[in-house]
Amino acid sequence: MDSGLALRAPRNDDRRLRVTNEKPYRPNVGIALFNADGRVLIGHRFKGDGPEIILPGLDWQMPQGGVDEGENLRDAATRELWEETSVVSADYLGETDWFTYEFPPYDGPQTHRLAKFRGQRQKWFALRFTGRDDEIDPLTPRNGQPAEFDAWRWERLDRVVDLVVPFRRDVYRAVAREFAAFGN
């Protein structure tokens, strides 16, 4: 009896997808930094970073970054916030469980630091900004890390999902639900 299913030889892109899915997720923290008006800090990414691509008009995001081996997650969040924005004046509000997202297919150099990962596994932290806006400086490199943002602004958390690349949107929706009480 013919089931109607046809078998086919694997294509090269099938193999790439299978290999990608066997890669681990990169441990990562994200930061929703709320100001006194309940808006979050977002940065404008001015360049892609390997599998972390940006698309025209979808080049904003909240600060985020990798967790060093053995690093406390809250410490990683405050370090990443400082590295990407120079902000040190912030109080802890809360955190999420873990979320994941997949990188889009990446055909660039496999020596790129993110190429060995299938995506990111993130824990998000809500912090309240207690400083002044002139503390925020995304352009100065810190800890030997290049600048990721060339501009910043305050935005409503529920609007940020429409400003990020599609592969991050589900996580941003979940973060917006989890941290809705801290916004306006």
pLDDT digits (tens, 9 = 90+) for 88-141: 999 999 999 999 999 888 877 787 778 889 999 999 999 999 999 999 999 999
155 domain residue, yes or no: yes
Residue whose entry in the numeric block shows the structure tokens 């109607």:
4
CATH number for the domain spanning 92: value is 3.90.79.10
The per-residue pLDDT for 1 is 45
pLDDT confidence band for 10 (50 / 70 / 90): very low
Is residue 72 over pLDDT 60? yes
Query: And the tokens for 176?
Result: 């917006």
Residue 164's nearest CA partner among 65, 63, 58 is: 58
Instruction: Report in angstroms the alpha-carbon separations of 176 from 20, 66, 142, 159.
Output: 28, 21, 28, 9
State the average pLDDT for the chain: 88
Residues near 7 by Cβ (< 8 Å), separated by ≥ 6? none
User: Which of 44-48, 63-67, 69-73, 78-82 shows the lowest per-residue confidence on average (mean pLDDT)?
Assistant: 44-48
6 domain residue, yes or no: no
pTM assigned to the model: 0.85
74 domain residue, yes or no: yes
pLDDT confidence band for 145 (50 / 70 / 90): confident
Its domain, for residue 49, covers 25-182
Q: Which residues pair with 95 in a beta bridge?
A: 125
**How many domains are there within the chain?**
1
Q: What is the pLDDT of residues 19-48, one digit of tens each?
A: 446 899 999 999 999 999 999 999 999 887
- 71 φ/ψ angles, rounded to the nearest 5 degrees: -80, 135
At position 124, the amino acid (one-letter code) is W
The per-residue pLDDT for 181 is 96
12 domain residue, yes or no: no
Query: And the tokens for 55?
Result: 């698309």
8 domain residue, yes or no: no
Average pLDDT in the 147-153 region? 95
